[in-house]
Structure formats: C-alpha cells, structure tokens
Amino acid sequence: MKEQLEKIKAEALAQIELADALEKLNDIRVAYLGKKGQLTSVLKSMKDVAPEDRPKVGQMVNEARELIEAKLEETKNTLARKAREEQMKNEVIDVTLPSRKANIGHSHPNMIAQKEVERIFVGMGYEVVEGPEVEYDEYNFEKLNIPANHPAKDEQDTFYINKEIVLRTQTSPVQARVMEQGKLPIRMIAPGRVFRSDEVDATHSPSFHQIEGLVIDKHITFADLKGTLAEFAKELFGEDTKVNFRPHHFPFTEPSAEVDVSCFKCGGKGCRFCKGSGWIEILGCGMVHPHVLEMCGIDPEAYTGFAFGVGLERIALLKYEIDDMRLLYENDIRFLRQF
Ligand code: DAH
C-alpha cells in the first residue's frame, strides 16, 4: 500500500511538472483526486487494510493529497503568470493612436437662431420666460381680444384637446400669463413651440416656433417699439439693415404693424432672395391693446406697452439661407453640421 501510494504521488507530481497549460492541470486533478481518481480509489480499498493500519494509511493518503493539491495550485499560478506575460508581450497598445471619437450631434439651426435672438434681447435687459404648449383657449384667444367667433380664430385653425384646451397657436398667450402675475415693469421674450393645422410644404409645418416679446412700463411709446426692433434687426442681420413698418391688424395690439427688414442679400436693390422687392417680412408687432391690459389686470391709464412676435424658423431659414423648411425637421446630421 505504501509503495502504491508513493508511486501515485511521484507520478502525479511528475505529470504536474510537465503540464504546460491550465486545462492539463485540471485533467490531472480529475485523474488523481477526482471521484474516480487514483488516490480516491486507494481510500476506497481501505476495507482490505488491517484495522490497526488504517489510521496510518489514511494519514498517508491525506498527506499525498495535500502535496498534490499544493503542487497543482503552485503550478496553476506559475502558468497563469506566464500566460499573462505572454499576452502582455503580444498585445502592444499604441498610445499614440487617435482615440475613437464619440459621435455627438450638432446644434439645430433653430436653436442657434433662438440663442442669437435671446442674446440680443437679454443684452437689452429682457428676461427669457416660458409658457405651456398645451394652453387654455382663454389665454390663447380670449385674453388676447379674440373672442369666440372672431375670424382670427379661423385663420389659426387650431388643434383642440377639448372645448377649453388647445395646443397653443401662438406664443402670445405667454403675454397674458406674464401680465397677470402683476410684476411691473415687464421686459420679456418667450420662445416656444406652437401648433396650427397647416399642410407641410416648403414654408409651412403644423408645428413650428415663435418668439414673443413684451414690454410694459410707464410712458412706453411706438417710438420705443421702433427703436427696439431696428436695433434687433441690425444685430441679427447686420449693421446696415433697415426696418420698414407697415400698418396691419392684430386683435391684441393697436396700432399694429408688420415689419420688413431690408434684404441683407442685395442691400435693398431687389434680388431673388427678397423676390425683387428689396424687403423681407420678419415679424408682427404693435402697442398692447388697452382692453388686453385691462383683462390682464393692468391699468391702461397708468401703463402702456408694446409686443411683437417672430417666427423662429423664418429667421433660421433667412439667416442660414435654407430654402425649404422641411429640412429643419429631418434632422439629418449632414445638414445640421453646416451651421
Ligand atoms: N401672434 C401673432 C401670430 O402668430 C404674431 C404677433 C403679432 C405677436 C403681433 C405679437 C404681436 O406679439 O404684437 O401671427
């Protein structure tokens, strides 16, 4: 029994010594220490050993097992270390290679134009505020002097959620919301998304963006409105830009005007860009109607103000010379990267 054990031990150790891969070590473990392994079978034949010799043989088997296990462990570590060293040698990392770039997007022309408009007005002391896209009919129409059955309501052919709630058709309701808060004076712009049931074409979309402006204070006159928008146009389109005010009608302003800027392409001589007229229409504006002030809790005897509304897409299309509005909504990164 003793010789048999010695033989098993010697063989096992010799085989471990020769093993050159981790999988081989495992095979050896199974062959000697596994359920059907050689050492295990010695233990199984213990019944043939004389009872008084059993403790001694048992001890010898255990010692052999421990020795084999220790050798297996040691060899496993050595092999693992060697494998790692080999891997390090082969895997050369070139730290001078350029890193893989994260695929980031690009600011949308609308957003670039909006930031530009915000920068100009914030520079003049305006605050940027927001209003809800889902709005009460009352704010979108009533408080802006557009009662039920007013033709202006037809023009804006609206998305209604129910009788009282609409997707706002203009950013003008933010005027009413800000005035109602009662903090005077007011100098604000309100950019945001608006909705109208328009067919999609090169200049229309059922969802687009506007920027509303509102100033309320004592002694505000039409001259302030003209000066402000003239300055805005210069900042946005260039120092030589002129503005032209044409009388118009909006229910919530009186008097009202539409504003054209001199064509920044031809300087006013007339070209394809301005359709030969030398002028490009950019916004609507006017003096806030006294009745609107009253409905929003402001005394029209003490305060006056002006308002204006500009289409953000219109500005983006003009400023970046984009000829089809649909391009703004496709969000093709190759298109966006140009701006
Ligand atoms: N809300 C108007 C529209 O969508 C634009 C507008 C015109 C806004 C005159 C104003 C304004 O604040 O004074 O057509």
- Strand locations in 277-319, DSSP E? 279-288, 304-311
Establish whether residue 191 lines the binding site of ligand 1, counting it when its CB lies within 6 angstroms of any ligand atom: no
Q: What is the pLDDT of residue 58?
A: 85
Ligand 1: which residue has its CA nearest to atom 3? 170
Strand, helix or coil at 212? strand
Q: Which residues pair with 288 in a beta bridge?
A: 253
Give, for ligand 1, the residue of 250, 287, 312 to mutate: max count of ligand atoms closer than 8 Å to Cβ.
250
pLDDT tens digits, residue range 209-249?
999 999 999 999 999 999 999 999 999 999 999 999 999 99
Q: Could you give the angle at the alpha carbon of 190 between the alpha carbons of 184 and 196, nearest 5°?
A: 130
Per-residue pLDDT of the chain (339 residues; tens, 9 = 90+): 778 888 888 888 888 988 888 888 889 989 998 888 888 888 788 888 888 888 888 888 888 889 999 999 999 999 999 989 988 888 888 889 998 888 889 999 999 999 999 999 999 999 999 999 999 999 999 999 999 988 888 888 789 999 999 999 999 999 999 999 999 999 999 999 999 999 999 989 999 999 999 999 999 999 999 999 999 999 999 999 999 999 999 999 999 999 999 998 898 999 988 999 999 999 999 999 999 999 999 999 999 999 999 999 999 999 999 999 999 999 999 999 999
What's the DSSP call for residue 169? S
Q: Is the CB of 253 under 6 A from ligand 1?
A: yes
For 324, phi then psi, to 5°, come to -145, 120
Q: Is the CB of 286 under 6 A from ligand 1?
A: yes
- Ligand 1 site-directed mutation target among 171, 195, 252, most atoms within 8 Å of CB: 252
Taking the model in full, what pTM does it have?
0.72
End-to-end CA distance of the chain: 89
Q: 305 in ligand 1 pocket by Cβ < 6 Å?
A: no
Ligand 1 pocket test target in 139, 172, 174, 258 with most atoms within 8 Å of CB: 172
| Residue-wise pLDDT tens digits, 162-220 | 999 999 999 999 999 999 999 999 999 999 999 999 999 998 999 999 999 999 999 99
Q: Is 212 in the pocket of ligand 1 (CB under 6 A)?
A: yes
Closest CA to 263 of 271, 254, 255: 271
